[in-house]
């Protein structure tokens, strides 16, 4: 059975945030002038995803969850976050929520972060600890899971 990969969750979250905004906005929490600030987390999220993907390709290791990594990448954006791609997707969704401006998209951001943390990050970190032992434990001490 194929597992559902993070981009599927991410795209579903974007769709859900947009639908909730238009169907059940609850109330506006970001005024129209401030909504453009949503471009900041959106741009940072895109940068993190592209930079992390580039690093994985540079070192020839997998980007897919649940596949065994042959290299522990600790350079570049991985100096700031142990999981910059998940952080990036959450930031993109946060930026979209700010651009939309209503309450309900922000709830989707929180749910996506929890899903990523429980469904993907926790098992990935167990796999990395098994594969890289002390090197991963040292890395974990230096770099936070998210930011």
Alpha-carbon distances of 121 from 17, 20, 68, 86, 137, rounded to whole Å: 22, 27, 14, 8, 15
Work out the average pLDDT over 32-53: 96
Higher pLDDT, 2 or 127: 127
Work out the average pLDDT over 12-21: 98
- The pLDDT of residue 137: 98
Structure tokens at 28: 């506006």
- The pLDDT of residue 136: 98
Exposed, middle or buried: residue 4 (CB in 10 Å: 0-12, 13-18, 19+)?
Answer: exposed
Q: Mean of the per-residue pLDDT values for the chain?
A: 96
Given a cut of 60, is residue 19 above it in pLDDT? yes
């Amino acid at each position: 059975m194929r597992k559902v990969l993070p981009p599927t969750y991410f795209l579903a979250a974007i769709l859900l945030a947009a639908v909730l905004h238009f169907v059940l906005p609850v109330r506006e929490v970001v005024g129209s002038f401030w909504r453009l600030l949503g471009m900041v987390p959106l741009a940072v999220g895109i940068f993190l995803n592209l930079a992390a993907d580039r690093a994985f390709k540079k070192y020839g290791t997998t980007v897919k969850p649940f596949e065994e990594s042959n290299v522990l990448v600790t350079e570049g954006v991985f100096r700031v976050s142990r999981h910059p791609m998940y952080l990036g997707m959450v930031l993109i969704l946060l930026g979209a929520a700010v651009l939309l401006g209503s309450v309900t998209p922000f709830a989707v951001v929180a749910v996506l972060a929890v899903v990523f943390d429980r469904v993907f990050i926790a098992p990935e970190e167990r796999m990395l600890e098994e594969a890289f032992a002390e090197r991963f434990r040292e890395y974990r001490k230096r770099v936070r899971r998210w930011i």
